[in-house]
Structure 1
Amino acid sequence: MSEHDGASTATSGSQGGAPAVILTVDDDPEVSRSVARDLRRRYGGDYRIVRCQSGGEGLAALRELTLRGVPVALLVADYRMPQMSGIEFLEQAMDLVPSARRVLLTAYADTGAAIDAVNVVDLDHYLLKPWIPAEQLLYPVLDELLGAWLAGGHAVQAELRVVGHQWCRRTADLRDFLARVQAPYRWYPVEQPEALRLLEAAGADAEPLPVVFTAAGQILVAPTRTQVADALGLGTAPSEPVYDLVVVGAGPAGLGAAVYGASEGLRTLLVERTAAGGQAGQSSRIENYLGFPDGVSGAQLAQRARRQAMKFGAEVVTTKTVVALRGAGSQHSVVLDDGVSVAAHAVILATGVSYRRLTGDGLDEFTGRGVYYGASPRQAQDCADKDVVIVGGANSAGQAAVHFARHARSVTIVVRGPSLDASMSRYLIEQVDALENVTVRTCTEVLSARGDDHLTAVTVCDVRDGRTDTLPTGWLFVFIGAEPHTGWLHGRVARDDHGFILAGPDLLHDRRGERAPDTTSRSAGRRKVDESPAAPPAPSTIWPLHRAPYHLETSVPGVFVAGDARAQSGKRVASAVGEGAMAVMLVHRYLAQQ
Structure 2
Amino acid sequence: MTSPGTRPTPVIVVLGAEYRQAMVDVLTRRYASEYEILAPTSMEEAVEVLTDLKSGRRPVALAACEYFAGGEKATHLLAKLQTFMPSARRLVYIPADRFRGSVAVMRESLAEGRLDLYLMLPQGPRDEEFHTAISETLSDWAQSVNLSEIDGTRIIADGPSPDLSRIRDFLDRMGMPNTVHASDSAAGVEVLAAAGPGAELPVLQAPTGEPPLSRPSNADLGAALYGRPTDIGEDAICDLVVVGAGPAGLGAAVYAASEGLDTLVIDQGPIGGQAGTSAMIRNYLGFPRGISGMRLAQRARSQAVRFGARFLAGQEVTGLRIGGGPDGCHVVELGAASVRGRTVLIATGVDYRRLGVDALEGLVGRGVNYGAAASTSREVKHKDVYVVGGGNSAGQAAVHLSRFARHVTILVRRDGLAATMSSYLVREIEGNPRITVRPRTEVTDGGGEGRLEWLTLRDVDARTEERVDAAGLYLLLGAEPTCHWLPREVARDDLGFVLSGADTPWQSWQGGRPPQPYATTVAGVFVAGDIRCGSMKRVASASGEGAGVVPLVHAFLAPDAG
Determine whether 1:335 maps to 2:346.
Answer: no
Counterpart of 1:366 in structure 2: which amino acid?
Answer: L
> Hey, what does 2:219 align to over in structure 1?
226
Instruction: Report deviation, 1:327.
Output: 3.0
User: 3-state SS of the aligned residue for 1:344?
Assistant: strand
> Hey, what does 2:484 align to over in structure 1?
487
Q: Does structure 1 conserve the Cα–Cα contact (< 8 Å) formed by 2:321 and 2:487?
A: no
1:377-392 alignment, distance < 5 Å: 377-392=374-389
Q: Does structure 1 conserve the Cα–Cα contact (< 8 Å) formed by 2:440 and 2:461?
A: yes
Aligned mate of 1:569, from 497, 513, 535: 535
Distance across 2 between alignment mates of 1:432 and 1:32: 31
Distance across 2 between alignment mates of 1:185 and 1:171: 12
Instruction: Report deviation, 1:584.
Output: 1.0
> Hey, what does 1:9 align to over in structure 2?
none
> Hey, what does 2:299 align to over in structure 1?
304
Distance across 1 between alignment mates of 2:39 and 2:238: 48
Q: Does structure 2 conserve the Cα–Cα contact (< 8 Å) formed by 1:371 and 1:475?
A: yes
> Hey, what does 1:586 align to over in structure 2?
552
The change in CA–CA distance for 1:109 and 1:334 in structure 2 (over 3 A counts) is farther
The change in CA–CA distance for 1:358 and 1:205 in structure 2 (over 3 A counts) is farther
Residues 38-76 of structure 1: CA distance to partner in whole angstroms, max 9, x if unpaired? xxxxxxxxxxx96876799xxx9xxx9x9xxxxxxxxxx
Aligned mate of 2:162, from 157, 166, 169: 169
The change in CA–CA distance for 1:31 and 1:408 in structure 2 (over 3 A counts) is closer
Instruction: Report deviation, 1:334.
Output: 3.1
Q: Does structure 1 conserve the Cα–Cα contact (< 8 Å) formed by 2:246 and 2:275?
A: yes
Q: Does structure 2 conserve the Cα–Cα contact (< 8 Å) formed by 1:564 and 1:576?
A: yes
Residues 364-400 of structure 1: CA distance to partner in whole angstroms, max 9, x if unpaired? 1111111110023332222110110110111111111
Count of residues in Structure 1 that have an aligned counterpart in Structure 2: 478
Distance across 1 between alignment mates of 2:339 and 2:98: 53
> Hey, what does 1:554 align to over in structure 2?
520
User: 3-state SS of the aligned residue for 1:328?
Assistant: coil
Identity of matched residues, %: 40
Larger RCO, structure (CA 8 Å, separation 6 or more)? 2
Q: Does structure 2 conserve the Cα–Cα contact (< 8 Å) formed by 1:543 and 1:556?
A: no
Residues 397-423 of structure 1: CA distance to partner in whole angstroms, max 9, x if unpaired? 111111111110111111111111221
The change in CA–CA distance for 1:35 and 1:341 in structure 2 (over 3 A counts) is same
Q: Does structure 1 conserve the Cα–Cα contact (< 8 Å) formed by 2:447 and 2:455?
A: yes
Determine whether 1:363 maps to 2:360.
Answer: yes
Q: Does structure 1 conserve the Cα–Cα contact (< 8 Å) formed by 2:392 and 2:421?
A: yes
**Unpaired runs of at least 5, structure 2:** 15-20, 41-52, 67-73, 79-85, 88-94, 107-114, 137-149
Counterpart of 2:160 in structure 1: which amino acid?
Answer: W
Instruction: Report deviation, 1:577.
Output: 1.0
Instruction: Report deviation, 1:493.
Output: 0.9
Determine whether 1:376 maps to 2:369.
Answer: no
Instruction: Report deviation, 1:488.
Output: 0.5
Counterpart of 1:175 in structure 2: which amino acid?
Answer: R
Q: Does structure 1 conserve the Cα–Cα contact (< 8 Å) formed by 2:266 and 2:312?
A: yes
Instruction: Report deviation, 1:220.
Output: 1.2
> Hey, what does 2:109 align to over in structure 1?
none
Instruction: Report deviation, 1:226.
Output: 2.9
Distance across 2 between alignment mates of 1:79 and 1:449: 43
Determine whether 1:281 maps to 2:276.
Answer: yes
The change in CA–CA distance for 1:401 and 1:50 in structure 2 (over 3 A counts) is closer
Counterpart of 2:215 in structure 1: which amino acid?
Answer: A
> Hey, what does 2:43 align to over in structure 1?
none
The change in CA–CA distance for 1:53 and 1:489 in structure 2 (over 3 A counts) is same
Q: Does structure 1 conserve the Cα–Cα contact (< 8 Å) formed by 2:319 and 2:487?
A: no
Residues 329-355 of structure 1: CA distance to partner in whole angstroms, max 9, x if unpaired? 973323342433222221111010010
The change in CA–CA distance for 1:79 and 1:358 in structure 2 (over 3 A counts) is closer
> Hey, what does 1:430 align to over in structure 2?
427
Residues 404-452 of structure 1: CA distance to partner in whole angstroms, max 9, x if unpaired? 1111011111111111122111221111111222121111111122112
User: 3-state SS of the aligned residue for 2:485?
Assistant: helix
Instruction: Report deviation, 1:291.
Output: 2.1
Aligned mate of 1:417, from 406, 414, 417: 414
> Hey, what does 1:209 align to over in structure 2?
201
User: 3-state SS of the aligned residue for 1:489?
Assistant: coil
Query: What is the TM-score with the length of structure 1 in the denominator?
Result: 0.69
Which deviates the most, 375-384 or 330-339?
Answer: 330-339
Instruction: Report deviation, 1:244.
Output: 1.2
Aligned mate of 1:397, from 394, 399, 404: 394
Aligned mate of 1:260, from 251, 255, 259: 255
User: 3-state SS of the aligned residue for 2:430?
Assistant: helix
The change in CA–CA distance for 1:492 and 1:205 in structure 2 (over 3 A counts) is farther
Aligned mate of 1:319, from 314, 321, 326: 314
Q: Does structure 1 conserve the Cα–Cα contact (< 8 Å) formed by 2:223 and 2:314?
A: no
Query: What is the TM-score with the length of structure 2 in the denominator?
Result: 0.73
Aligned mate of 1:178, from 155, 171, 180: 171
CA RMSD of aligned residues (A): 4.5
Distance across 2 between alignment mates of 1:565 and 1:292: 25
Distance across 2 between alignment mates of 1:356 and 1:220: 31
The change in CA–CA distance for 1:197 and 1:244 in structure 2 (over 3 A counts) is closer
Q: Does structure 1 conserve the Cα–Cα contact (< 8 Å) formed by 2:524 and 2:553?
A: yes
Q: Does structure 2 conserve the Cα–Cα contact (< 8 Å) formed by 1:326 and 1:333?
A: yes
**Unpaired runs of at least 5, structure 1:** 1-17, 37-48, 67-77, 89-94, 97-106, 132-136, 146-156, 510-515, 517-539
Residues 66-88 of structure 1: CA distance to partner in whole angstroms, max 9, x if unpaired? 9xxxxxxxxxxx999xxx9xxx9
Counterpart of 1:584 in structure 2: which amino acid?
Answer: V
> Hey, what does 1:74 align to over in structure 2?
none
Counterpart of 2:401 in structure 1: which amino acid?
Answer: F
The change in CA–CA distance for 1:158 and 1:557 in structure 2 (over 3 A counts) is farther
Counterpart of 1:442 in structure 2: which amino acid?
Answer: P
Instruction: Report deviation, 1:176.
Output: 0.4
Aligned mate of 1:447, from 444, 447, 469: 444
User: 3-state SS of the aligned residue for 2:232?
Assistant: coil
Instruction: Report deviation, 1:201.
Output: 3.9
Counterpart of 2:175 in structure 1: which amino acid?
Answer: Q
